[in-house]
Structure 1
C-alpha cells in the first residue's frame, strides 16, 4: 500500500478548530488583558516627564552696521551648528554638580544625569531638555532649575552665545510611562497568539478520527456504514414531533 501524503488543514478545519476553542481563546485574551491592566495600574512604577525648550542666541551686530544682514545670517547658521556643542556642554558632570547644589543636594550628579535627556531636531537653534522622575512636581522643579542654571553655564563657557528659555516647563498631568493602552494591547495580542497556538497543538495531538473522509485518507479503507450522532437524532426527532403536534 502506498504511503499517503500528510493531511493538511483546510479552511473549514481551521474554522472548526477556532469554533471549538472559542471560549478558551476569549478567556485567555481577557485574562492577559486584565492582568496587564492590573499590573500597569497598581504594580509598575509611574514616571512623569517635564520638558523645557532652550534657544541658542548669538550676539548680532548693530542694525546700522554695514553687512549686518549677512553677518546675522552667518550667526544664525553658526548657532545652529553649535546646538549639539551646547548640549554636550550641559551633559557634563560639572553641570550636574552645579545643578545638584542648586537643588540642595537632593540628588547626586549621577542620578540627575540619568533623569535628564536632550533632544535636537538639528534644523533649528532650539533644543529640548526633558526631566523624568517618579513625581510630577519634582520633574517640574528640576526642569525649572535647569532653566536657571543652564544659561549661566553656557555664558561662562562661551562669551558670544547664550541660552534663552522659549518654552517653560509644565507640571505633568499624567504619567509618560508606562503606557496603559499599549501594554493592554500587547498583552491581548500575546494572549490571542498563545491561545491559538495551544488550540492548534491540541487539535494536532488529538489522534481520534473525526470525519468519515479521514478514515479513507488515513487507512485507505472505504466507509461502509457509520453510527449517527444520537444527540443530533434525538434533537431532530423532537423538532419533527413538535411540528406534528402543531399541525393537529
Structure 2
C-alpha cells in the first residue's frame, strides 16, 4: 500500500480516524484527573564519609575508587529490609510499601540522593529524613563507614510531582490514532470485493481492454 492509498483510506474513513483518538484521549483524561491521586516527592542528599577520612573528605587510608564502591553499597543498603523496617518502626508506621523510594548514586562522587514519592506530602519528607538517619546508623555498624552526613534535608513538597496527566492524555491520543489507522488498513485488507479495473487486472493477470460506462436511465 502506497502512502497515497493510505491517505485516501484515511480520508474515506475520516470520521473513525478523528473520533477514535479523541475518545481515547478523553478516557485517559477522565481516569487521570478523576481517579489518579496527586503524588509528592521529597528528596534528601547525603555525603558518605569512610573511616580514615576527616570531615573535609580527604583520603588517608583508602583511595577515591574504594570510597565510591562503599557509596554504592550504602545506596543498596538504604533499600534493604532492615533499614526500611527500622525507619518504619521509628516513625510508628507499619511499613513503607505505599511509598516509592529511589536512590541515586553517581559513579564520580560520594553524594547520595534519596527520593520518596507518596500521596501525602508531609510524610514523604519525614520518611526521606528518617531513611537518611537510619542508614547512617546501620552503615556504621556493618560497613567501614565513619558517618553519613546529610547535605540537604528533605523539605515538604508544596506542589505535586505527579502523575503526568498531560503526557497520559497525549499518549492515549497517539495510541488511539494508531489504532484507528490500523483498523482502517485491516478492514481494507480484509475486503475482497472487486472495486475497480485495477483489482480485475491483479486477480486475473490480464489487461483491461475496454470499459463500459454507466448509463443514466438505463439507456
Where does the alignment leave 5 or more consecutive residues of structure 1 unmatched? 1-8, 64-68, 231-248
Note if 1:87 corresponds to 2:68.
no
In the alignment, which residue of structure 2 is the partner of 1:16? 8
Note if 1:226 corresponds to 2:218.
no
Distance in 1 (CA, whole Å) between partners of 2:80 and 2:152 is 23
Q: Does the C-alpha gap of structure 1 residues 207 and 222 become closer, same or farther in structure 2, counting only changes over 3 Å?
A: farther
Contact 2:45 2:150 in 1 (8 A): yes
In the alignment, which residue of structure 2 is the partner of 1:125? 110
Contact 1:216 1:223 in 2 (8 A): no
Note if 1:54 corresponds to 2:46.
yes
SS of equivalent to 2:69: helix
In the alignment, which residue of structure 1 is the partner of 2:119? 134
* Structure 1 residue 159: Cα displacement: 7.2
Contact 1:49 1:132 in 2 (8 A): yes
Distance in 2 (CA, whole Å) between partners of 1:169 and 1:10 is 57
Contact 2:101 2:114 in 1 (8 A): yes
In the alignment, which residue of structure 2 is the partner of 1:27? 19
Note if 1:178 corresponds to 2:174.
no
* Structure 1 residue 54: Cα displacement: 0.8
5 Å-filtered alignment, 1:129-208, equals 129-157=114-142, 161-208=146-193
TM-score (norm 2): 0.78
Distance in 2 (CA, whole Å) between partners of 1:151 and 1:227 is 88
Q: Could you say what the CA RMSD is over the residues aligned between the two structures, in angstroms?
A: 3.2
Distance in 2 (CA, whole Å) between partners of 1:229 and 1:136 is 75
Note if 1:106 corresponds to 2:93.
yes
Contact 1:60 1:75 in 2 (8 A): no
Where does the alignment leave 5 or more consecutive residues of structure 2 unmatched? none
Q: Does the C-alpha gap of structure 1 residues 53 and 213 become closer, same or farther in structure 2, counting only changes over 3 Å?
A: same
* Structure 1 residue 152: Cα displacement: 3.6
**Bigger CA radius of gyration:** 1
Contact 1:30 1:188 in 2 (8 A): yes
* Structure 1 residue 17: Cα displacement: 0.6
Distance in 2 (CA, whole Å) between partners of 1:120 and 1:70 is 19
